[in-house]
Structure 1
């Protein structure tokens, strides 16, 4: 196995054999310690006798990092034993903390049950069944027959059920598994069950799973072999205020289309367009994207010339109107490891720098792991607030995103937000713990090759944290961006 780094392996409990899993085409590995440093291992079943090998790998990783080296294999579902031992109340608490409705073990005869199979941030199968299956079209059936059905991607429930299931597993530190949801008559989805195992998958689901795993294995090997070059983009938002402090609709001066446009929100069911949204040209250079944002701010200034307005950005400069600083990334695959790197390297330091009132937008907005795949093949990281408060913060956010995306393997060594105490602190605002987490993350980032390239903008962010600074959401952003105020 030596010299074959970048491979995907299947590791199964003891001598157990699961025929359909072995037919997925993943080679089986019997000794985890023989995996190469940048391999990926799909862990199936309880750790059992493999626990010692996993502990050795973890300890070896720490020793290697202290010597300035990396990595160890990415072991999928390494948290499975721990999660399976948690009481239902604790699982519910973790899910609700992040904005997910949960009632583990709930049973409602009048609701539809949906079982979603997830692998690698993607749904591979979705099944539905009514819990009350004793009758169907007035005919009596056994509980194991009747109206069980496979849902397809064009079904109206697919996207929200997929999103909720992916987030549920992600929140619990799992990389694949199955999530049971209840879909009530009121149209609400609730998590009622979590499993780290893959069971009762139909033939179509197995085929889709094989396709997803094959695509991942190919892309993973290519990234390990050739490295990653992240292309950055963004669509940050800001709001216009009148001299009386009222929101001025961005649609008065900007169209929904274009590089400097407007974005909509729904207020009491009505669609309105209060936000200015900038869409800079993508680039692999954080400084280029930042410079193009400044160009678009000048365009926006020309559109509103002569109008007495105040421009504000941040997390929530106006109560009830949270702003986003979504970062677009392409040139790589979306993985749980990469998403966790972004949470720790980007969302965490920005969380420490935001003003106290900004926390009110969570968990509905700004939750960890908020991501959306894009039609062009990349993805949009949606957790950050609008970092348009200053050009240096914008540049720092882009630099951190680039390092996280390109060096997620190295950053897997120390991710504070994988630990429950720091994850709680992210939502609850325990500043002492957040500062500890940020310091740990800075050490991890500084060990990457990317830090050498982007040291200045990254240090700006962490120096501001050390000085106990926070951005001012009441300030006019044009001052720091050097945009004339008419």
Structure 2
């Protein structure tokens, strides 16, 4: 079935969308292009395409599909791999509205030349357990990694609580339930397009950047010795060693606000509060991506007041995560792809979401201010941003491997596009120094006590270094 063009005058007709998007054989169109409307003048082409045709064509070969997923840290099923169970997951961008699970507990072969017929049962939407949650997350992550917006993802479970992607299908054959949820999702996307661009001040930002502490002799200083599990300054949930009470990572959790400047001030206040708990200069505070082996750090940003979709995540990846590679310590690339993979997000209880791809930008005030300002600007005006270099596999590789040489010219072009937004001027105080930092050729030093650059005593005075 070929790709489909949907005229804007018919977006309100769900039944017409169904008749056009699904063939007589009940196969979903592999790609959908939406016509511009007066309401969407200036929107990027990518906002009006669901499942880009070039991307669909690229992943037709199974070996290409497997290679892309591997780059993103996702395991793909090999021939004759033995599975305990198999899930069929309907995915539309960040949502999994329908899932099926194989019945019984017998082991079967994923890629057998003569596969046995398997019966499936629908997974109730309210069923939430660790396996179902992991399958849903893997399905969404796989679709995103391949550059798609919708499709069916088949996931297998292996012994040892491991999971593997069996296949990702952009033009699946559908049953009635699948038809209903996918047509509704396409319809809903068309209806919400006009709501995707918002005023920057309507987006509330939060964050929970991390840092780790170590003694002057190099030994780890446990965060749980100084901080509670919860609170404005607290411990991350991961533990050190066998005792789950030993928490190594500190999180700064400022109160959310629509004003980037206030968020930076609250982060600084959180660092001051932390310093009052750790009253020694003999413990250094380290941020960045991987300042200590085995302890990758994140700089998660929380958003509310905006609709979440793949287009927004891709804008954050292209205009924020990709440029930040220029400044990171080369060692930070080792954090990826297990952590820091493109499009990493988590739904939040308050209705917003958490963008989890970035390393800990607490490395300096300049980086912190730039990241927060860019995050709000990008999130609010992303439909008007025209560039998507990460669509190319070569750029994805450059990101995961930390290839700064290939990324720098892309950042210059991306920043020109950001500067083209009329709202940029309101953020220039934070964004211009950040951009200068990115293009300086220097990389941050993950072994330097961040209290020095934040001027939060006490800290040891050490010579400034750059790389």
How does the TM-score come out when normalised to structure 2?
0.84
User: Greater RCO between the two (CA within 8 Å, min separation 6)?
Assistant: 2
What residue number does 1:58 align with?
none
Q: Alignment partner of 1:170: what SS?
A: helix
Residue number among 206, 219, 232 corresponding to 1:246 in the alignment:
219
Matches within 5 A, 1:294-305: 294-305=268-279
Equivalent of residue 485 in structure 1, options 455, 458, 466: 458
In the comparison of the two structures, how many residue pairs are matched?
A: 441
Q: Residue 165 of structure 1: SS of its match in structure 2?
A: helix
- Alignment map for 1:227-306 (pairs within 5 Å): 229-267=202-240, 270-271=243-244, 272-306=246-280
1:384-395 equivalence runs, <5 A = 384-395=358-369
Contact 1:129 1:149 in 2 (8 A): yes
What does 1:302-313 align with in structure 2 at a 5 Å threshold? 302-306=276-280, 308-313=282-287
Q: CA deviation at 1:199?
A: 3.0
State the distance in 1 between where 2:18 and 2:251 align.
49
Which residue is equivalent to 1:51? none
Work out whether residues 250 and 276 of structure 1, in 8 Å CA contact, stay in contact via their aligned partners in 2.
yes
1:28-43 to structure 2, matched below 5 A, reads: 34-36=35-37
Q: Which residue of the other structure, out of 469, 473, 485, is the alignment partner of 2:442?
A: 469
Q: d(CA) in 2 for partners of 1:280 and 1:363?
A: 27
Equivalent position of 2:353 in the other structure: 379
Match in the other structure for 2:63: 89
Q: What's the offset of the Cα at 1:201?
A: 3.9
C-alpha change, 1:5 and 1:431, in structure 2 (3 Å) is: farther
Instruction: Please give the alpha-carbon distance, in whole angstroms, between the structure 2 residues aligned to 1:128 and 1:173.
Output: 25
Instruction: Let me know the Cα RMSD of the aligned residues.
Output: 3.4
Q: How big is the shift at 1:200? A: 3.3
Q: What residue is the counterpart of 1:362 in the other structure?
A: 336
SS of match in other structure, 1:472: coil
Secondary structure of the 1:265 match is coil
User: What's 1:431 paired with?
Assistant: 404
**Where does residue 353 of structure 1 map in the other structure?**
327
1:444 and 2:417 matched: yes
Kept in 2: contact 1:113–1:131 (CA 8 A): no
Q: Equivalent residue of 2:154, what SS?
A: strand
CA shift, 1:485, in A, is 1.1
Structure 1: unaligned runs, 5 residues or longer: 23-27, 40-63, 136-141
Task: State the alpha-carbon separation in 2 of the partners of residues 312 and 436 from structure 1.
Answer: 30
Whether 1:123 and 2:96 are equivalent positions in the alignment is yes
The residue number in structure 2 matching 1:315 is 289
1:293-335, CA deviations, whole angstroms, 9 ceiling, x for partnerless residues? Answer: 0111111111122463211111111111111100001101111
Residues in 2 aligned to 1:82 and 1:227: alpha-carbon distance in whole angstroms: 33
**Residues 107 and 37 of structure 1: CA distance in aligned 2, closer, same or farther (over 3 Å):** farther
Runs (5+) with no aligned partner, structure 2: 1-5, 109-114, 460-467
TM-score, normalised relative to structure 1: 0.81
* CA contact 1:103–1:190 (8 Å) conserved in 2: yes
Alignment CA distance shift 1:438-1:12 (3 Å): farther
Note the alpha carbon deviations across 1:177-230, whole angstroms, 9 max, x for none.
001112123321111211112433453x55555665565555444345888822
How big is each residue's C-alpha offset from its partner over 1:32-78, in whole Å with a ceiling of 9 and x where there is no partner? 68531666xxxxxxxxxxxxxxxxxxxxxxxx9xxxx5544521112
Q: Deviations over 1:406-463 (max 9, x none)?
A: 111112x111111111111111222221112211211121111232211232222221
Aligned to 1:339: 313
Show the counterpart of 1:77: 51
**1:446 & 1:37 partners in 2: Cα distance?**
24
